[in-house]
Amino acid sequence: MALARIFLFTFVFLVLALALLSSAAEGASRRPPRHGSKPRRHSLKAERSHSKKGPRRPTLKGPRHSGVKSQRSRPGSKTPLPIPAFTNPLPFPSPVFIGLVVDARTYGAIPDGQSNSKASIKFQKVRNGAVRDINLVNSKGFQMTITSCTNFLAERLKITAPADSPRTDGIHLSRSNGVQVLNSFIGTGDDCISIGEGSTDVKVIGITCGPGHGISIGSLGKVPQEQSVKGVYVGHSTLSNTDNSLRIKTFHDSPPLEASGITFEDITMVDVKNPIIIDQHYKSNENQGASFVKISDVHYRNVRGTSVSNVAVSLQCSSAIPCQGIELVDIDLALSPNAPKKFPLSATCSNAKTFSMGKQNPPACR
């Protein structure tokens, strides 16, 4: 009798246990999968295959685009998870742009110079980058801007716009360090290259410029909070039929800043206006007072060629902070046969402390 009771209780216990297990399995099968997860497949074949291949390699992800947000989110939260910062694993610069032709007229633009925001190409906050073999044509504003960049190379560029199109600077630099512009042809309706505020350690070499307004430092001092320009080298270049050539320009009533450590060397000029010019009265009708941009340690060396304007060297510095350390070495400029007025070339200086060496045509002012 006792044995029968034990057998009955055991049978009932097993039936209840099986019922509970069956109910749990059915509930798990009906539960929806968690968002973003995939069902795992358990198989001996899969386990063996994984063990033979070894651990999966990590995937390298590129830098996050500023306008793209992550779609991953924490469970139960709509806030995207942050994407880890990108570390470039390559031993060479990652952003490299090679071999493009950009013609603004393809998109219906007419070079009118109404807004410098309409640049054909903008490089901003690029570190260790390069642009090569690009042809820019007929920009509505600036052709190319390089802003807040570090160690940036631009070479073998061809940049063109009509000579009568204002504000179509070929390349405009600002707040950048270690920029090099090499071996390029630039002809526009404004500055071939303009080196704006906050530019340091800049090299411009092997440029053919013209038409246009030459190669300029500035304009500087137009708005508050501008930064100084230091360490600019412009060399081994040719300027042809430009309205200005080697120019430093600053505004009146400027914030206090500096333009220093600037060298123009081995420059050839062909029928240019204003070959060498420092203009600290740039657009003086717009602002009263003097410029507070301190210009110092500027060198003009081995500058030769022809001028169509009678004043070949014009150093018009600030009455508040005169220019200091302006060096003129081997300046050999002649009046072009195409000059409208056949007067001897001259040099004029105001509030400028200069010193000269070697050939001086026209005679250096003192």
User: Rounded CA gap, 350 and 348, in Å?
Assistant: 7
Asked if the peptide bond before residue 211 counts as cis, ω within 30 degrees of 0, the response is: yes
DSSP assignment letter at 82: P
Structure tokens at 113: 């110079």
Across the beta sheet with 346-350, what order do the strands follow? 121-124, 144-147, 171-174, 193-195, 215-220, 246-251, 276-282, 311-316, 346-350
**CA 86 vs CA 63, 70, 82, 129, 182: distances in Å:** 5, 14, 12, 16, 30
Quick one: three-class SS letters along 53-69? Answer: HCCCCCCCCCCCCCCCC
Phi-psi region at 13: left, alpha or beta (left = phi > 0; alpha = psi -120 to 50): alpha
Q: Phi then psi for 178, rounded to 5 degrees?
A: 75, 35
Q: Which residues are catalytic?
A: 190, 213
